[in-house]
Structure 1
Amino acid sequence: MPGTNDPRPPFLLIDDGGWINIYNSTDDLIDDQEPPFVDEVTFLIDSQGNLMRLVADDDSVHLETLDSEIDLNRLQESVDRFFRAWTDNAPPRHDLPTKDYLSEIFALYRSATFRGRMRKER
């Protein structure tokens, strides 16, 4: 379900190591990226459900909106894995509409108790 075409923070970024970062502005997102890192991003989604990507040009990075659907099952698996491994909080419910699910991720991430070490999967 793509939302609007203009990126709307906050942004959810998941890297290939499964780590989640939340960015409250486009500037914060761009400022935190380095060109080699953009290939390590597995999900980048804005608050409206727009799938995004980071593009590196020489020494700079910019943001593009993609015209494709979020693979919600894959996103939920990634988010669940992160919350189980790195927080003491339960992951968001899966029965929510996409925008509400994203809002729940943002809220839970902000209030999460993060672990100093990764919890092993059972």
Structure 2
Amino acid sequence: MCHSYSVKFLNFSELLLSAMFFVGMMPANNAFALNLKQAERLAIQSDPSIESFKATSRSFVDESVADDTLPDPKLRLGAVNVPVDTFDFEQEQMTQLKVGIVQSFPRGDVLSIKQKQSQYLSKSA
């Protein structure tokens, strides 16, 4: 079997007509054109890093409030010299139970300085 292929060259009018058809099918550029302000607004609205920066700034503000407060007090419970063979608290005279509350107080103006530092960070973020 022998196939014959023919190559047909388009003349100028056929080429021009098909080009006009495809150009007419394309949407007009002016209908979808953005001006600079619209493009900036769209870019800012769809940028996730801006929300990240805002959240970081809010976290520094919240942290500055927490930096100005004392640490939480701690409750301590303990047992000393408990016999390990019977666990009887009355077997030995040296057995002790300890209960205590611990509160730490930072030196000087450390709390207010830490708060000011966090406030400056929140303003710069």
Q: Same fold (TM over 0.5)?
A: no
Higher relative contact order (CA 8 A, sep 6+): 2
TM-score of the superposition, structure 2-length normalised?
Answer: 0.21
Structure number with larger C-alpha Rg: 2
TM-score of the superposition, structure 1-length normalised?
Answer: 0.21
Q: Relative to total residues, which structure has the larger strand share, 1 or 2? A: 1
Q: Relative to total residues, which structure has the larger helix share, 1 or 2? A: 2
